[in-house]
With several copies, the nearest count.
Chain A
Amino acid sequence: MSAGHNEVLVEGPSPRPGDPEVTTELVADHGLSVDEYERILDILGRTPTYTELGVFSALWSEHCGYKNSKPLLRQLPTEAPWVLQGPGENAGVIDIGDGFAVAFKIESHNHPSAVEPYQGAATGVGGILRDVFTMGARPIAVLDSLRFGPLSKPRVRYLFAGVVKGIGDYGNCVGVPNIGGEVRFEDAYEGNPLVNAMAIGLMRKEDLIRGTASGPGNPIIAVGARTGRDGIHGATFASEELSEENEAKRPQVQVGDPFTEKLLLEASLELIRSGHIVGIQDMGAAGLASSSTEMAARAGTGVDIDTALMPVREAGMTPYEILLSESQERMLVVAKRGREHEVQRILEKWELEAAVIGQVTDDGLYRVRENGTVVCEIPGEELVGGCPTYIRDAVEAPAVVALRAWLPDTSHTSHARSDAGKVLLRLLGSPNIASRRWVYNQYDSTVRTNTVAGPGGDAGVLRIRGTRRGIAATTDCNGRYVYLNPRRGAMIAMAEAARNLVCVGARPRAVTDNLNFGNPLRPEIYYQMRESVLGMADACRVFDTPVVGGNVSLYNESPMGAVYPTPVVGMVGVLDDVSMAIGSAFGEEGDAIVLLGTNTDELGGSEYLKVLHDLVAGDAPAVDLAAERALQEAMLDMVAAGLLRSAHDCSDGGLAVCLAESAMGERESAGITVLLDDAVEPAALLFGEAQGRIVVSCAPSAVAGVLEVAARRAVPARAIGTVGARSATARFVLRSPGASIDLGIGEMADAYRTAIPRAMDRPAAGGLTGE
């Protein structure tokens, strides 16, 4: 730090009347360690004011400062020729051809949703949409990745219903289609649900804009909702465990206003196109404090703002409160000097409030005033870049090592031999496998009329107007696998996401990840984080899918313990010709069913073990990244050649469930007859979750072509059966050396479609959601 700065700083701001004195207790309450506070004293050369302490604690929180994850995140590949913007901005951006680019990012709202599911989830969607349209992209899709405890618990049903309604009401109102996601139910999430929302935006390449505050003298404008006392210290809160103690500290709930968001969206895009502004950013976590410092840091400038100029909802708010408030639907805009009026005119058209609150400076200082009096003066780059980062001890939990070594015996596999049909019905009725229609029928998936495939298939597909292209997106992560074997589990999340994309005919292009873990100070948790990131990084390299953005959510723990390690993978792919996209439902009577990939003896971590034996044990299925890549290429070749009528990724519940899902389809179900000759333990053959498998169907005349492509790509492939008639009385027939299934398709569809609605018909204690 230059001497010049020191002089400015030493006679820094004098304490503000009415503000508490900065004591060691107060520092601790702000979640800052002794060392971190020492650093702050060093940087300032003096004691911070209360306001400065608040700003430091927010920007140096896990949520904004990534102090425990930054070193790990550096392991992830972030570059490729098609990457226009990697991590570090509001959202990542990739080139999809024909002059178009897509911006996308995933964000967690776990803690707010645990407190108030409806508003927590709704504001999560609002935040991620703003991250996308502040890049200059119009949001064209939302996906949501959800984790809850078991539906048998009334509180869980309350959370689930509230979160889904919150996500739906917000996205539906703004007019962005929901094209996919996940929901999983595991005991480990009971005390701490996970709510991750992903948004994708479309733009012309030339409209890409960044969140920078460049050009000293340029005015800084606050736009949108007025600032209230909502969610003060939400960022710090999101960086602590849910516990009785911090119930008190709990920030006031943030209420979403999707109507204002829609106006912000239209106004922002108009502003960006207008050329009157140099930068724009969402006031998200840590509100004005983080948005203004980050914009300045990116531009290497300083800012000088006055909190008294900020439009507020409540009287008597202090600079501390105004800087840290997380009121929703607010944006920070840096306009070109002299264009204030043009900017105002656009905002007025959209009935939005706006106020010039300060300007960009060239001294690199983060200076905040209240009615002219300086209350905060900090070297900006220290706030954003100076946050100390940590590499923690990592030790795998012995209990997990033991679990992984577990192997099934005949007592675990006998049901499959004796009564495979009943087992299949039970799996189809398990909330982790059953139809998610109850969820996505509450979402508008077709607004904007680009949706070629909405929720219900392996991945959502959108056409890109004015081109022949399309994009596809999916989110995936089976936390059970990651828990049993973090590195493998993370690779599997990547592999499944990529399979989901190629199953609709899209080439995987890039990833946004959401790392949901427990308390990183616990060595077994940090071990899970490190291994997961390394596993993800390996898969990114093999699949050629760099990470262009993401989010880290730590301290996902409750008195009941930590959540399963859940590194959610959001993956986006591109189709050169969207009219070639295929679905997962079997085609016409007489079509051939072909299995790509190899069946194995693996049963570890399966839904079968969980449902039949209430066991989460064994090792996660083996995953061969090179083989997965070959499978992906084979699929893309087959789709491009127009050989296939359907494709479905084989995941939870194994081959039998995969075949059942393709047979039942979204509408009228088809019967099938399948013969398997593998010398493999029946339980594993039918219900094991071996990776690298896709079930495709094609016209009989195309079988030779399919097998030929597979052979060329060195992917094991064989015809295993045929598609029967579509009728209520159609039968699902599957025969193998050790076990057989012969079920009426209607009975299966009933188990599959009614499981979640039936569970949710029971009352949910805890209040009426969003009414």
Chain B
Amino acid sequence: MKEYDIEVRISPRQGLLDPQGKAIHSALHSLEFDEVESVRVGRLLRLKLLADSTEGARAAADDMCRKLLANPVTEDYEIAIGAGA
């Protein structure tokens, strides 16, 4: 068993309205960051978990995303794995 650092990136489905992103975008503009073209807001989950292999860790994380972490109807997710600290 080894400890893995998992990073789960969850973002709103393409085409779905992202009111928060919209609000942040216009806030950045009123702060004169005119170079910003778009903002999408998602969630970032950092997990530490024990697994015997990178594959095992990924499989577990994927399972968690489907069961709990991500909303299957409104969100997409990506999983990134690094070795534990």
The residues of A with any CB-CB pair to B shorter than 8 Å are 115-116, 119, 225, 228-230, 252-257, 259-260, 313-314, 327-328, 762-763, 765-769, 771
* Given A765-B67, A767-B68, A768-B69: A255 and B17 interface contact (C-beta under 8 Å): yes
Known contacts A763-B30, A765-B31, A765-B68: A257-B19 contact under CB 8 Å: yes
Bound: A158/B20 CA distance, A: 17
Closest CB in chain B relative to A134 CB, distance in Å = 21
Task: State whether B19 touches A259 (Cβ < 8 A).
Answer: yes
Supposing A115-B73, A116-B74, A767-B71 touch, asked if A313 and B17 sit within 8 A by C-beta, the answer is yes
CB distance from A771 to the nearest CB of B (A): 7
Q: Which of A252, A259, A327, A769 has the most CB of B within 10 A?
A: A252
Contact with B16, one of A253, A259, A763, A771 (Cβ below 8 angstroms): A253
Which A residues are CB-close (under 8 A) to B15? 228-230, 252, 314
Q: Is B49 at the interface (CB under 8 A from chain A)?
A: no
Q: Report the bound CA distance from A762 to B31 in whole Å.
A: 10
**Residue in chain A with minimal CB distance to B67:** A765
Q: Is B43 an interface residue (CB 8 A)?
A: yes
Measured in the bound complex, the distance between the Cα atoms of B22 and A328 in whole Å is 14
For A162, give the chain B residue with the smallest CB separation: B71
- Assess the B20–A771 pair: CB atoms within 8 A: yes
Interchain CB contact under 8 A, A257 and B67: no
Would you call B61 an interface residue if the criterion is a C-beta within 8 Å of the partner chain's C-beta atoms?
Answer: no
Given contacts A253-B73, A762-B30, contact A768 B17 (CB under 8 A): no
Inter-chain contact B17/A257, CB cutoff 8 Å: yes
- State whether A230 touches B17 (Cβ < 8 A): yes
4 nearest CB pairs, A to B: A257-B19, A767-B71, A255-B17, A763-B30
* Whole-angstrom CA separation of A254 from B20 in the bound complex: 15
For A327, the chain B residues whose CB sits under 8 A away are 17
B24 near A768: Cβ-Cβ < 8 Å: yes
Closest to A154 in B: B31
B23-A259 in contact (CB<8A):
yes
Known: A229-B15, A230-B17, A254-B17. 15 other contacts (CB 8 A): A230-B16, A253-B16, A253-B74, A255-B16, A255-B74, A257-B19, A259-B19, A313-B17, A763-B68, A765-B31, A767-B71, A767-B73, A768-B24, A768-B69, A771-B41
Residues of chain B lying within 8 A (CB to CB) of residue A260: 19
Contacts of B27 in A (CB 8 A): 763, 768
- Please tell me if the beta carbons of B73 and A255 are within 8 angstroms of each other in the complex: no
Cβ of B16 and Cβ of A252 under 8 Å apart? Answer: yes
With A762-B30, A763-B27, A763-B31 as given contacts, are A768 and B19 in contact (CB-CB < 8 Å)? Answer: no
Interface of chain B residues 20 through 43 with chain A (CB within 8 A): 20, 22-24, 27, 30-31, 41, 43
- Looking at chain A's contact residues, the main secondary structure is loop
- Of residues 47 through 85 on chain B, the ones whose CB sits less than 8 Å from some CB of chain A are 67-74
- Chain A residues with CB under 8 A of B72: 766-767
Q: What's the minimum C-beta distance from A527 to chain B, rounded to whole angstroms?
A: 35
* Residues from chain A with Cβ under 8 Å of B73 in the complex: 115-116, 253, 767
Residue numbers in B under 8 Å from A259 (CB-CB): 19, 23
The CA of A252 and the CA of B74, in the complex, are separated in Å by 9
Q: Taking the complex as formed, is B5 at the interface, i.e. its CB lies under 8 A from any CB of chain A?
A: no
Q: Tell me the smallest distance from the CB of A125 to a CB of chain B, in Å.
A: 15
State whether the Cβ of B18 lies closer than 8 Å to any Cβ in chain A.
Answer: yes
- Residues on the B chain within 8 Å of A119, using CB: 74
CA distance A769 to B16 in the complex (A): 16
Q: Quick one: closest B residue to A767, CB to CB?
A: B71
Q: Decide if B31 touches A767 in the complex (CB within 8 Å).
A: no
Mind listing 28 A-B residue pairs with CB under 8 Å?
A: A115-B73, A116-B73, A116-B74, A225-B17, A228-B15, A228-B17, A229-B15, A230-B15, A253-B16, A255-B12, A256-B19, A257-B19, A257-B22, A260-B19, A313-B17, A314-B15, A327-B17, A328-B17, A762-B30, A763-B68, A765-B67, A767-B68, A767-B73, A768-B68, A768-B69, A771-B20, A771-B41, A771-B43
Give A117 to B30 CA distance when docked, in angstroms: 22
How many angstroms from the CA of A524 to the CA of B6 in the assembled complex?
54
List residues of chain B with CB within 8 A of the CB of A769.
Answer: 71
Given the complex, which residues of A lie within 8 Å of B71, measured CB to CB?
A: 116, 767-769
Give Cα A327–Cα B43 distance, bound, in whole angstroms: 24
CA distance A255 to B68 in the complex (A): 20
Looking at the assembled complex, report how far the CB atom of A129 sits from the nearest CB atom of chain B, in whole angstroms.
Answer: 16
How many angstroms from the CA of A252 to the CA of B17 in the assembled complex? 10
Taking CB atoms, residues of chain B closer than 8 Å to A313 are 17
Q: Which residues of A contact B12 (CB under 8 A)?
A: 255
Contacts of A253 in B (CB 8 A): 13, 16, 73-74
- Chain B residues positioned under 8 Å from A771 (CB to CB): 20, 41, 43
Residues on B with beta carbons closer than 8 Å to the beta carbon of A230: 15-17
What are the residues of chain A within 8 A of B22 when measuring CB–CB? 257
Q: In the bound complex, how far is the Cα of B14 from the Cα of A230, in angstroms?
A: 11
Residue of A nearest to B23 (CB): A259
Could you say which of A228, A255, A327 has the most chain B C-beta atoms within 10 Å of its C-beta?
A255
